[in-house]
Every structure is written in C-alpha cells, then in structure tokens.
C-alpha cells in the first residue's frame, strides 16, 4: 500500500531528493515549505520525472510558527487521514546569510543569529513532529530528522551547529515516546552536500576542495546519498533501528 510521506523543505535540495525517492516507490508525498512557487515547481518537475509514480502534493507553511504547523496537521488529517513517514528536513544556516562563520554586529546580532538558527533547525522539526504526534503513534510509523556534521564539529559561531546538535536529544526522547507504539525516530547527519540551495552560491572552489579532501571517498555528497539513507531508515528492515544518528559524510573526519 502507498505510504503517506510528509517532507518538510521538500521543494529543494535534500528534501526534494527524499520526496523523489519515496515517490519512486509509489508513495504519496506532501512537500512542505514556505515558498508556494518553489513547491509547485518541484511538484511539477517530480510528476514529470519518469521514475516517479506516486502522487506529489504541496502545502506552503512556515514551520517556525505554531499555528502554521497546526495547519499542516489539520490539512494532513483532512487530505490523508494518516502519516506513515515524517521527514523533518527543513532548515538552513543563518551564519551563511552574514559573512560565513562571523558573528554579526553587537549582542543583538548574536542573539538574532542564534535565535534564527534555533527557529529554522529546531523549532521547525519540533513543532511539526508534535503537531503530527497522534498520527505517528502506530506500528511502522517513521520519523527522520536531518542534522549535520556541524553538530559534531562546529559551524563557525556555533549557532547552526548547536541547533543541529539539539535535534539529537529530541530524536532520543521522541524515540522513547513513540517506541512503545512500534514507531521509530532517527536522524541523519550529512556532511557537505551539493546541488542544494544551502550555501546560496557562497561555496568557494578552495573550500569545496578542502571539504572533499576530508572525505575518504574523495567526492562530494549528493542529495540522493541522503535520500537513500532516509529511505532505508523508513523501511521495514530498519524497524529495530531507533534513537540513532546516522552520518552520511563519506567518512569526513571530525574537527578537520
Ligand atoms: N547542503 C548541505 O551541505 C547540508 C549538510 C548538512 C545538513 N544539511 C541540512 O539539510 C537540510 C536540507 O537543506 P539543503 O541542503 O537541501 O538546503 P536547501 O535547498 O536550502 O533546503 C532547505 C529547505 O528548507 C525549507 N525551509 C527552511 N526554513 C523553513 C521553514 N521555516 N518552514 C518550512 N520550510 C523551511 C526551505 O524552503 P523555503 O525557503 O521555501 O521555506 C528549503 O526547501 C537542512 O536542514 C540543512 O541544515 C545540509
């Protein structure tokens, strides 16, 4: 039977690849993000993809806002009546919108950057998971969070890294809450992944070479690399894997 899969940040990058992977199985995928036009374009491109046979639908919502997360819950209940897989992929790094790794001017700037990264990476996942919580209390349900290698080795000011690290105890606690119902909760922590909007054109060739040099595979990661891991964590074969952080980084060593 086709599963219902909710992918936050599903209009671009990793989320879009995750959506494609599930829709290739014939699953019914809901893409959630703030920009309606981006979601619509992604849904149309996926529907035109020869590998995709599942239904793709969209819902625009800012998941940092409790009422918006509640609206996703209400719409999901009305449209599908169930959620089999929740992929909390929405996020981004506010450090990149200032000069990479630099603290913005004054304490007010510091507070803004930390709050912004907390909102984008923690609240989006927490609010959507809590909003959909009752639908996830069933055997076979899956929640996957998207963390980052930054959670292990910092991100410049620490604000993005700390926000991603906060997802790990959330995954542990949610795994404890949903485990008795037969559901699992895990996180994937990607290293450097190309073909996304994450760096907003700020990646230099020198830094790119350095990041590739930190891997043992000698290549960049792709959204499909992450999507395959998310798909596996959501598979029946991974039913005894829960409360784990799975790193997808080509063996990039910490702290390099
Ligand atoms: N690329 C990498 O190297 C890398 C490495 C490690 C971890 N990650 C993580 O992977 C995840 C996906 O990022 P990506 O690399 O694919 O970059 P991306 O293309 O920029 O994707 C981020 C997505 O999140 C959505 N989003 C952001 N804030 C949101 C909000 N408040 N409400 C709803 N949706 C929101 C964005 O859509 P809207 O702007 O339309 O809302 C966008 O589709 C992120 O959590 C990121 O931190 C990325």
Catalytic residue among 80, 160, 172, 254: 160
Amino acid 100: pLDDT: 59
Ligand 1 atom 34, closest CA = 33
The pLDDT assigned to 104 comes to 76
Closest approach atom of ligand 1 to CA 65:
31
pLDDT digits (tens, 9 = 90+) for 125-176: 999 999 999 999 999 999 999 999 999 999 999 999 999 999 999 999 999 9
Count the neighbouring beta carbons within 10 Å of the beta carbon of residue 84.
22
Average pLDDT, the chain: 96
Ligand 1, atom 44, lies closest to the CA of 91
The set of residues, in sequence order, having a beta carbon less than 8 Å from that of 122 and lying 6+ positions away, is: 163, 166, 167, 170
Write the pLDDT tens digit of every residue in 216-227. Answer: 999 999 999 999
pTM beyond 0.85: yes
What is the whole-number distance in angstroms between the Cα of residue 198 and the centre of ligand 1?
A: 6
The parts of the chain modelled with pLDDT lower than 50 are: none
Q: Is 160 a catalytic residue?
A: yes
Strands (E), the chain: 4-8, 28-33, 56-60, 85-88, 142-146, 184-190, 245-248
């Amino acid at each position: 039977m086709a599963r219902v899969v909710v992918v936050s940040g599903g209009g671009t990058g990793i989320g879009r690849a995750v959506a494609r992977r599930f829709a290739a199985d014939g699953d019914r995928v809901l893409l959630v993000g703030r920009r309606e036009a981006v979601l619509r374009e992604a849904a149309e491109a996926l529907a035109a993809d020869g590998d995709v046979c599942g239904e793709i639908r969209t819902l625009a919502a800012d998941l940092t806002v409790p009422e918006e997360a509640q609206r996703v819950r209400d719409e999901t209940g009305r449209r599908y009546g169930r959620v089999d897989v929740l992929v909390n992929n929405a996020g981004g790094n506010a450090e990149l919108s200032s000069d990479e790794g630099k603290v913005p001017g004054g304490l007010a700037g510091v507070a803004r950057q930390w709050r912004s990264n907390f909102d984008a990476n923690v609240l989006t996942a927490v609010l959507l998971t809590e909003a959909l919580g009752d639908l996830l209390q069933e055997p076979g349900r899956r929640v996957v969070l998207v963390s980052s290698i930054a959670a292990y080795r910092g991100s410049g000011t620490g604000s993005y890294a700390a926000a991603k690290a906060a997802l790990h105890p959330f995954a542990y606690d949610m795994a404890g809450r949903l485990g008795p119902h037969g559901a699992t909760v895990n996180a994937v922590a990607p290293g450097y992944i190309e073909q996304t909007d994450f760096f907003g054109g700020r990646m230099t060739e020198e830094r790119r070479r350095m990041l590739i040099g930190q891997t043992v595979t000698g290549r960049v990661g792709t959204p499909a690399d992450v999507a395959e891991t998310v798909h596996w964590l959501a598979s029946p074969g991974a039913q005894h894997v829960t409360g784990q952080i799975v790193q997808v980084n080509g063996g990039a060593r910490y702290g390099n």
